[in-house]
Amino acid sequence: MDNQPQQPECCPKFDPTPWDGKIVEWQNKRFIKDKVFTLFFMPMNFGSVMKRLYDKVQKSGAAVQDGMWLSDHTSKWNMDLYLAGDKEVPGAKNVVLSGRFLGKAYEGEFKNTGKWMKDFEGFVRDRNFNMKKMFTWYTTCPKCAKKYGKNYVVLFAQGD
């Protein structure tokens, strides 16, 4: 019997259509939350935090929803990471998000994230959407982005 920890599956192929330019409404959407150390916004332990969260979900019998991992850069030293799940996960910081969220999908290299964020702020403003917080959904890992030939990132504005 193999006693190695189960690794997360590869990223599912992403379809940006349901998220791009759309407002989604979440009512108590479940997530588990953890922190990633960043050095001037560059994640240093992103993979290990993802694995830790994924292992908690697997151990609890919960399922990841939409392959969704939301990031919130709270400072140049920290990023909160939210993993969407279908039920409460024991031993994890369980949180819920509710409200209206305006999304916009971008495609390209991760290094473009700063440009996308500036563009997104204008996109949100042009739609008269009052953003109180921004989340980033990196939909595929670098390996899967290469495999699919596309690297989508969705930015979400949480409204009030």
Annotated domain spans of the chain: 23-159
HSE-up (13 A, CA, CB side) for residue 137 = 26
**Rounded mean pLDDT, 96-113:** 95
Parallel/antiparallel/unpaired status of strands 131-138 and 64-75: antiparallel
The residue type of 6 is Q
Q: Which two tokens stand for residue 112?
A: 């473009």
Q: Does domain 23-159 have CATH number 3.40.50.2300?
A: no
In the numeric block, the tokens 């989604």 are attached to 24
Q: How far apart are CA 116 and CA 43, in angstroms?
A: 18
Q: Are 80 and 136 in contact (CB under 8 A)?
A: no
Q: Which two tokens stand for residue 14?
A: 């992403």
Dihedral, 140, 146, 149, 154 alpha carbons, nearest 10:
20
The model's pTM: 0.88
Q: Percent of the chain at pLDDT above 90? A: 79
Q: Is the pLDDT of residue 91 over 60?
A: yes
Q: What share of the chain is helix, strand, coil (3-state, %, to 5)?
A: 25, 45, 30
Q: Is the pLDDT of residue 87 over 90?
A: yes
| pLDDT tens by residue, 42-70 | 888 988 999 999 999 999 999 999 889 99
